[in-house]
Structure 1
Amino acid sequence: MAARFTILTPDAQFADDAVIERQVGGADVDFEIRRERDRKKIPDEAYARCDALLTWHELKVDQSVIDKLTRCRIIVRAGVGFDHIDLAAAGAAGIPVANTPDYGTSEVADHAMGLLLGLLRSIPAYDQALQADPVGGYTLEAGHLTRRIRGTALGIVGLGRIGTATAMRAKAFGLEILAYDPYIPRGQEIALGITRVETLSDLLAASDIVSIHAPLTPETHKLFGEAALSVMRPNAVLINTARGAIVDLDALHDALQAGRIAGAALDVLPEEPPPQPLPPLIAAYHEQPDWLRGRLILTPHAAWSSPESAADARRLSAETAVAYLRNGALRNCVNEAVLDRKKLRR
């Protein structure tokens, strides 16, 4: 008789009763689906009885959670980023952590290009002006950032899957593509037909548009603070579809207000949704003073979103969990360096 497994999803981002996940798991896998943001709202016994934890991004998986995972053999992130999971604590407990990097690539790259076009063709600004006054707003006055895109320089920070997909899209628009990523192999830029830049400062100084596609790590936390923003060109715009905490919102607020950069488009924030009271940049976006109007676009961590992408994230993450539980096949492990294999649970 085949062994039965229980997979706990504490922070499900879908409305149904795990239809896709249950199709992947089959008859011998039970799914316990909850929709919490607070890890303390999950009963200890739910953590204790699960063979795998399949988490999204709403619930922090820290030492206090990992201590409760007495039976758990694997933690799978239904998505790419894993900065909310304590990799070292999981590794010390003998629990591998895997992510799902093979979903949403097209959507995020498309979204980055959409934000680029929205800013530099002033599409939201024109739309908002016409909504407010369909007759009087039928002018070009709202297009503060409108410019020719062909021939300008796009600097990509992080040339992984999504950074590469964004670069390929941008080439079709006639942009010159620069990339900064100290972790990619030498020569990858040659294969892609783009220019490698050796330092972040050099990239920022040479770019009209900067698009962030890096993971959130201690190295990249607030990477775009006052120092980095001061190197950017006054006519440059910043786009972030990666992780919110890579950008220091207060430093960005000051740079926009002082005119040190031209504009920004953010799909991600350090805290989502933003806290109350609102950070100065988000408060200004809400109030739309003259100095900011048409220069900032926000979207609600939506870059990854499409029905197809959501289905991929669910299917692929469930496949990763089930494959490990059934036969020990481990893919996309992100804590290999700190994983105590002597403590692996079989």
Structure 2
Amino acid sequence: MTKVLIATEKPFAPVAVKGITDICKEAGFEVVLLEKYTSKAELLAAVADVHAIIIRSDIIDAEVFDAAKQLKIVVRAGAGYDNVDLTSATAHNVVVMNTPGQNANAVAELVIGMLLFGVRNRFNGTSGSELMGKRLGLLAFGATGRNVARIAQGLGMEVYAFDPFTPAEAMAQAGVKHVATQAELFAGCDIVSMHIPATPETKGSIGRALVGSMPKKAILVNTARKEIINEAELLDILKEREDLRYFTDIMPANHEEMVAALGDRYFSTPKKMGAQTSEANINAGLAAARQIVGYIKEGNERFRLNK
């Protein structure tokens, strides 16, 4: 019998666990649960005889693949997947998937929420500004970017996007203006919201040059990945440009320095929380279960990440 492990240091909501279990049991699969584990040894023991694993932000590296002798598939319930070693997965003949789009609206609503919080001066009673009429730039136009665009357009914002993997025609159909380069996006938008993955090409790519080119009183929003920011350069340019603001749900390593130097021009949530809604939690978990069933039963590799 196919055995599916739900391995989550930060557990799914109970209703999501039940939904995952129901989908797997209907397919004739057994489900085992490892929640709130505190050591890697617990994870290594749990994967020893499983055929599939559903994770959230849990680290699945070469050591885990070595320990999981029967493993066929790992599904990351969410969009980001840099917590899984794709090279090692391929070497062990394991398919890795994510669940793109399931968290997209949750992240998009957080982006807009942080922007409203920021432009209205943290709701402190003083006069702020409005989002209507502002130029919003989206760095990547995937599922999350599309949802941010949809909400922003409802607020009357002008939306632009740079994404080398999305045709300009697709952006136009969504009412979004295509921008030819990343540099043009930063230089031409009042607000830039970033939705790119952490890859060798993007890590540390957002720093002094791009942020420093932004218009007066611009805002940078990061709900993507911590690694894409050159944090030292970002702090330096924010100190020099006292009109700029930075909002994120990924606390920087130099968080205390930013708080001390920037005051209300900087805001970070206590932990990454873009996907922290009950709806996104459930959607991603159920999608992961369905993808495992589809792969094991039918060989469906639609969301495969490694080759």
Q: TM-score, normalised by structure 1?
A: 0.81
Give unpaired runs (5+ residues) of structure 1. Answer: 127-138, 271-278, 339-346
Q: Is the 8 A contact 1:233 1:260 kept in 2?
A: no
Q: Superposition RMSD on alpha carbons, in Å?
A: 2.1
Indicate conservation of the 8 Å contact 1:99/1:332, yes or no.
yes
- Cα separation, 1, equivalents of 2:176 and 2:283: 30
Please name the residue that 1:133 is paired with: none
Q: Is the counterpart of residue 223 in structure 1 residue 175 in structure 2?
A: no
Does residue 1:25 correspond to 2:11, yes or no?
no
Please show how residues 40-119 of structure 1 align to structure 2 within 5 Å: 40-44=41-45, 46-57=46-57, 59-119=58-118
Q: Distance in 2 between matches of 1:154 and 1:254?
A: 24
- Following the alignment from structure 1 to structure 2, what is the Cα–Cα distance between the partners of residues 316 and 198? 34
CA deviation profile, 1:169-207 (whole Å, cap 9, x unmatched)? 111222221111111123112212221111111111111
Q: 2:292 aligns with which of 297, 318, 321?
A: 321
Counterpart in 1 of 2:214?
Answer: 232
Q: Is the 8 A contact 1:268 1:301 kept in 2?
A: yes
1:298 aligns with 2:298: no
SS for the counterpart of 1:154 is: strand
Give the aligned residue type for 1:188: A
Structure 1 position 109, deviation (Å): 1.0
Cα offset for 1:38? 4.3
The DSSP-based 3-state class of the residue aligned with 2:220 is: strand
Counterpart-to-counterpart distance in 2, 1:41 and 1:230? 46
* Aligned counterpart in structure 1 of residue 170 of structure 2, from 188, 192, 216: 188
Counterpart AA for 2:92: A
2:27 aligned with 1:39: no
- 255-264 vs 202-211, greater mean Cα deviation: 255-264
* Greater relative contact order structure (CA < 8 Å, 6+ sep): 1
* Aligned twin of 1:14: 12
Deviation at 1:15, TM superposition (A): 5.9
* Residues 227, 36 of structure 1: alpha-carbon distance in 2 compared, 3 angstrom cutoff: farther
CA contact (8 A) 2:25 2:31 kept: no
SS class of match (2:48): helix
Please state how far the C-alpha of 1:148 moved relative to its aligned partner: 3.4
SS at 1:223 equivalent: coil
Q: Kindly indicate whether residue 235 of structure 2 is the aligned counterpart of residue 253 of structure 1.
A: yes
**Number of residue pairs the alignment of both structures matches:** 302
Indicate the percent of aligned positions where both proteins have the same amino acid: 28
Unaligned runs of 5+ in 2: none
1:25 is paired with a residue whose SS is helix
Q: In the alignment, which residue of structure 2 is the partner of 1:135?
A: none
* Larger Rg belongs to: 1
User: Measured at CA, do residues 213 and 261 of structure 1 come closer, stay the same or move farther in structure 2, by a change above 3 Å?
Assistant: farther
Any conservation in 2 of the 1:76–1:99 contact (CA below 8 Å)?
A: yes
Structure 2 CA distance for aligned equivalents of residues 120 and 268 of structure 1: 20
